[in-house]
Structure 1
Amino acid sequence: MSISTALPAIVSKTKWRLIPFMLMLYILAFLDRSNIGFAKETYQVDIGLSNEAYALGAGLFFVVYAFLGAPANLCLRKFGARRWIGMTTLVWGALSVAMGFADSEAKFLTVRVLLGIAEAGFFPGMIYLTSQWFPQANRASVMGLFYMGAPLAMAFGSPLSGALLELHGWLGHPGWFWMFVIEGILAVAAGAWTFSYLDDTPAHARFLDAKERETLQQQLAKEESSKSSATIGEALKNPRVWHLAVIYGTIQCGVYGLIFFLPTQVASIMGSSVNFMTSVITAVPWLCALFGTFFIPRYSDKIQERRKIAAITFCIGGLALMASAFVSPYAAIIALCLAATAFFACQPVFWAIPTSLLSGSALAVSIGFINMFGAFFSFAAPLIRVHAETIFASPAAGLVSIGSIVVLGALAIIALGKQGSAQLSTQTNK
């Protein structure tokens, strides 16, 4: 049986083994980094945390996260995915539990920094791991399945976080304490399971037989041989890598300019405080994003087009985010659904571009470097939104500022030109 005949079944088998596991970890990671948005109102009041300190703490996570992404990916290559991802998950889960005991501004800022350090190796590691297990032609749809973890976390994690907040007063602790502790314990358990479940590379895949392992390795090796053999230094000097890094930064600006404020924005639209009902309504945009993140990357794989799809999707998200500030409450919810869908659906398509250009350590570092820019913009997003709202004394100013950055990012994707798409098509058709 030829490689082309056997490969689809092997890829499908690999998807069923890895994607649910990666999806679960991403859901937990996303919950643990973003649940602070649900605790914002009561947590700030209970510990005396100012809006500026909240924005700083939300952003500091991404500063340390940014700087450590590239070296973390090199550590993954050295120590293996099983040990590195397992330990990373264990540590960030423990720190998420520690957030329940962060009852002062100093403790809050300290734990957020440590959480950023712990999570630095997870997301870029997952993107790199995807490039090591799946052929290029399948990569956007595979990453789309992985990226579904974020909207799943927000869709089903939103009611979970809201329900845990309702435990206020149980055993003498506020609701935010139980939210941090319980969700953190889930991550600790997942980290322990990783050590027995995850395989480092296709060569060590226990769920594939010897022939299947050989076939998958041959296809991946064939694709790797056609990529650039740049050194780490050459990759970091490549203008295209910098271009991609800036684009990813604008994507993350849109994502976190929405995530950290969505519960309170929805509450404002509904004319209430953040409660369980608000968390249920907040889940609606993430349910929409779930479908978009599944179908749009699959369509990108089908027609083998990345740049145009990512640009159009992202631009729609930016325009929708701006529109949510100026329309009726029902229309605002619809606009937020469009924005959430666009921001998450464009990311798997985007990541299919850099993983088609480089290989080996150069790819691992480039993913970390691109992710670093994303983290910087993630840090800036809450600050940009808060300062814009303060300067212009209007919540609409924050939405317009973030939306404008997103539209500029969509134009930057168009400015990539056709080279990346052409190179991708050439590689996948060899």
Structure 2
Amino acid sequence: MENHEVSLERSLTLSHLVLFGLAYLAPMIVFGIYGTVAQVTHGLEASAYLVALIAMFFTAYSYTQMVKAYPVAGSAYTYTRKSLNAHLGFMVGWATLLDYVFIPMAIWLIGAAYLNAAFPPIPTWLWILSFIIITTIINILGIKLSTKVNFIMMVFQFLVIALFVALSIKSVLGGAGAGTLLSITPFVHSHASFSFVLAGASIACYSFLGFDAISTFTEETRRPEKTIPKAIMLTTIIGGAIFIVSTYFTHLAHPAFNNFKDIDSAGFEIAKQIGGNLFSAIFLAGIIIAQFASGISAQASASRLLYAMGRDAVLPKKIFGYLHPKFKTPVFNIMIVSIIGLLALKLNVTTSTSFINFGAFIAFTLVNVSVVAHFYLKGGKRSGKDHIFYLLFPVLGCCFDFWLLVNLDKNALVLGGSWAAVGFIYLLFLTKMFKRQPPEMHFDHIDEAV
């Protein structure tokens, strides 16, 4: 099918971008993985999110600098390819593909776990299949959520979060849980070590995935050189604040980190504890709406990335570069993502989120390295504050990201390493054993594929 060039309108403002970034983060995911983070950290949930925020802050700053250097779509792949090396850029693109293609799987798994907790007679596998089938049909037909619907859904999520925190406070003031609103136990206590915090932070970073996606809207944003960096930093900081505050009060309402019927649906158990059946129903609705909307967006985004790679012959064009003649959607890619989503039938939340974070940490690490290479080494910015902004900050971000990478779940490291190995072998094939440059991916107009 012939694709026509389109002219992108610069209409997005700072508020639009922050709203998009927060919608992509899906703030209620903090409750979706709360049980996993609580168990891994031995009750230091807030501390894990604080460490994750620090790591993401420095990485977000590096994204703001690279957006200024390369104000085009493509994000980590483009930054690495242009600043470091084309072959290394391909590997970062391959790692990014891991995020995009497997995120829908984790979203469907979390949503299914909560529905199973609310309706035990219905098996989890049936909920997973239902999520996959409904989402796939919607994406094949080309139906997209409008900005207005996204806004309504975001407002609903914020209301549910606010209610959850308010009911947690009410519960604690009533003598339940920790019995006090001022406590350091969500951050530090004698029964848990910092290694638990790192392990938890490596999972908690899943909640932040999406702040980097703002950079893909560079060509549609007014004054992108100023607006995009502000939006990235605001999304990261606001998201981090929501996660830390939410986990702090949730811990106070339910301090026992190992006292859940099912850690994958711990948030639902606590919601019922602090607000009864009525609030647990509202909470479940919030989780499912967030997961469903996020699943539609994630599957659509993954299929678009695969389409871009197929169109540019990075992947076989006949399959990955195909658009349905009637629906004008990458049908094969949507189906591939849905088939990969079936892995949710065999994985748990801990492994699936850690697996996705493997690709994210690889990309984040290389974006930090790209800042040093582009500005400090090649650009010669080495005077005054330059040492802080173009060397110290990105090096700190790089160290934090790599640190979190090696603290991932062991199964995730094995799966992620295997994915990287497959990518390297494929790179050898594409480049005839490094005798030529890998094909360059173009992301500027992939919106037309959806």
Q: Which has the higher helix share?
A: 1
Higher relative contact order (CA 8 A, sep 6+): 2
Report the TM-score, using the length of structure 1 for normalisation: 0.30
